[in-house]
Amino acid sequence: MKKEHKTIIDLIHNYLENHPDQRFGQALFNLGINEFQKTTDPKNPNFDIRNIHNDKDEEILKRIEKQLEWFELQKKVNDGISNEIGLQGMTINERLFATGLLDSFDIYIKENKEYAQFILKSLKVDSESIEKILK
Protein backbone atom coordinates (compact mmCIF):
# COMPACT_ATOMS: atom_id res chain seq x y z
CA MET A 1 0.00 0.00 0.00
CA LYS A 2 1.30 3.42 -0.92
CA LYS A 3 1.56 6.26 1.59
CA GLU A 4 -1.25 8.13 -0.20
CA HIS A 5 -3.54 5.09 0.04
CA LYS A 6 -3.03 4.90 3.79
CA THR A 7 -3.65 8.63 4.18
CA ILE A 8 -6.87 8.48 2.14
CA ILE A 9 -8.12 5.47 4.11
CA ASP A 10 -7.29 7.18 7.41
CA LEU A 11 -9.15 10.34 6.35
CA ILE A 12 -12.22 8.33 5.32
CA HIS A 13 -12.04 6.40 8.60
CA ASN A 14 -11.84 9.57 10.69
CA TYR A 15 -14.65 11.20 8.74
CA LEU A 16 -16.96 8.20 9.23
CA GLU A 17 -16.04 8.01 12.92
CA ASN A 18 -17.18 11.65 13.29
CA HIS A 19 -20.28 11.14 11.09
CA PRO A 20 -21.61 7.65 11.90
CA ASP A 21 -25.04 8.57 10.54
CA GLN A 22 -23.68 8.81 6.99
CA ARG A 23 -23.55 5.93 4.56
CA PHE A 24 -20.24 5.07 2.94
CA GLY A 25 -21.36 6.38 -0.46
CA GLN A 26 -22.35 9.70 1.12
CA ALA A 27 -18.91 9.99 2.68
CA LEU A 28 -17.25 9.43 -0.70
CA PHE A 29 -19.25 12.31 -2.19
CA ASN A 30 -18.94 14.59 0.82
CA LEU A 31 -15.18 14.15 0.86
CA GLY A 32 -14.92 14.89 -2.85
CA ILE A 33 -13.63 11.46 -3.78
CA ASN A 34 -16.55 10.84 -6.13
CA GLU A 35 -18.12 13.85 -7.78
CA PHE A 36 -20.59 14.81 -10.45
CA GLN A 37 -19.44 15.85 -13.88
CA LYS A 38 -18.76 19.56 -14.18
CA THR A 39 -21.17 21.66 -16.22
CA THR A 40 -20.76 25.08 -17.74
CA ASP A 41 -24.50 25.79 -17.77
CA PRO A 42 -25.87 26.29 -14.24
CA LYS A 43 -29.44 26.00 -15.59
CA ASN A 44 -28.73 22.45 -16.78
CA PRO A 45 -26.75 20.65 -14.07
CA ASN A 46 -25.23 17.30 -14.96
CA PHE A 47 -25.84 14.67 -12.29
CA ASP A 48 -23.77 11.97 -13.98
CA ILE A 49 -20.93 10.70 -11.84
CA ARG A 50 -17.54 11.74 -13.16
CA ASN A 51 -15.21 8.85 -13.97
CA ILE A 52 -12.33 9.10 -11.46
CA HIS A 53 -10.49 6.05 -12.79
CA ASN A 54 -7.52 8.09 -14.05
CA ASP A 55 -7.35 10.49 -11.10
CA LYS A 56 -4.00 10.35 -9.35
CA ASP A 57 -4.02 9.48 -5.66
CA GLU A 58 -2.52 12.91 -4.95
CA GLU A 59 -5.45 14.61 -6.73
CA ILE A 60 -7.97 12.65 -4.69
CA LEU A 61 -6.08 13.48 -1.51
CA LYS A 62 -6.13 17.20 -2.39
CA ARG A 63 -9.90 17.06 -2.97
CA ILE A 64 -10.43 15.38 0.39
CA GLU A 65 -8.24 17.92 2.18
CA LYS A 66 -10.04 20.80 0.45
CA GLN A 67 -13.42 19.43 1.52
CA LEU A 68 -12.27 18.93 5.11
CA GLU A 69 -10.93 22.49 5.16
CA TRP A 70 -14.29 23.74 3.83
CA PHE A 71 -16.21 21.79 6.51
CA GLU A 72 -13.91 23.16 9.22
CA LEU A 73 -14.38 26.74 7.99
CA GLN A 74 -18.17 26.34 7.96
CA LYS A 75 -18.09 25.02 11.53
CA LYS A 76 -15.79 27.82 12.68
CA VAL A 77 -17.99 30.49 11.08
CA ASN A 78 -21.17 29.00 12.52
CA ASP A 79 -19.62 28.71 15.98
CA GLY A 80 -18.33 32.28 15.83
CA ILE A 81 -21.64 33.73 14.71
CA SER A 82 -23.73 31.75 17.19
CA ASN A 83 -21.68 33.12 20.12
CA GLU A 84 -21.94 36.77 19.09
CA ILE A 85 -24.94 39.08 19.37
CA GLY A 86 -25.34 42.42 17.64
CA LEU A 87 -23.06 41.96 14.64
CA GLN A 88 -25.10 44.39 12.54
CA GLY A 89 -23.95 47.38 14.59
CA MET A 90 -20.25 46.54 14.18
CA THR A 91 -17.72 47.38 11.52
CA ILE A 92 -16.47 44.51 9.38
CA ASN A 93 -13.21 44.28 11.32
CA GLU A 94 -15.13 44.28 14.61
CA ARG A 95 -17.34 41.46 13.32
CA LEU A 96 -14.32 39.43 12.23
CA PHE A 97 -12.59 39.96 15.57
CA ALA A 98 -15.69 39.33 17.72
CA THR A 99 -16.41 36.03 15.97
CA GLY A 100 -12.80 34.84 16.06
CA LEU A 101 -12.58 34.84 12.26
CA LEU A 102 -10.06 37.62 11.72
CA ASP A 103 -7.01 35.36 11.34
CA SER A 104 -8.84 32.95 9.02
CA PHE A 105 -10.14 35.83 6.93
CA ASP A 106 -6.64 37.32 6.61
CA ILE A 107 -5.41 33.99 5.24
CA TYR A 108 -8.32 33.43 2.88
CA ILE A 109 -8.37 36.96 1.47
CA LYS A 110 -4.94 36.11 0.02
CA GLU A 111 -5.31 32.40 -0.70
CA ASN A 112 -8.98 31.61 -1.33
CA LYS A 113 -11.38 34.43 -2.27
CA GLU A 114 -14.35 32.04 -2.28
CA TYR A 115 -13.80 31.20 1.39
CA ALA A 116 -13.21 34.86 2.25
CA GLN A 117 -16.49 35.72 0.53
CA PHE A 118 -18.27 32.99 2.52
CA ILE A 119 -17.02 34.51 5.78
CA LEU A 120 -18.17 37.99 4.82
CA LYS A 121 -21.59 36.81 3.64
CA SER A 122 -22.01 34.86 6.87
CA LEU A 123 -21.25 38.03 8.81
CA LYS A 124 -24.04 39.80 6.87
CA VAL A 125 -21.69 42.14 5.01
CA ASP A 126 -23.49 43.75 2.08
CA SER A 127 -22.68 42.63 -1.48
CA GLU A 128 -21.20 45.96 -2.55
CA SER A 129 -18.74 45.96 0.35
CA ILE A 130 -17.81 42.33 -0.27
CA GLU A 131 -17.06 43.11 -3.90
CA LYS A 132 -14.79 46.03 -2.93
CA ILE A 133 -12.97 44.02 -0.27
CA LEU A 134 -12.30 41.06 -2.54
CA LYS A 135 -10.80 43.18 -5.35
Q: Where are the alpha helices (DSSP H) in 19-101?
A: 24-30, 57-82, 92-98
Residue 133 burial (CB count, 10 A): 15
Could you report the per-residue pLDDT of 3-47, keeping only the tens digit for each? 999 999 999 999 999 999 999 999 999 999 999 888 888 888 888
What is the model's pTM?
0.84
Q: Where are the alpha helices (DSSP H) in the chain?
A: 3-18, 24-30, 57-82, 92-98, 102-111, 113-122, 127-134
**68-89 mean pLDDT:** 90
Single-letter amino acid code for the residue at 70:
W
At residue 103, the pLDDT reads 96
At residue 83, the pLDDT reads 78
| Res. 89: pLDDT tops 90 | no
- Overall size of the chain counted in residues: 135
Residue 49's φ and ψ, nearest 5 degrees, are -75, 135
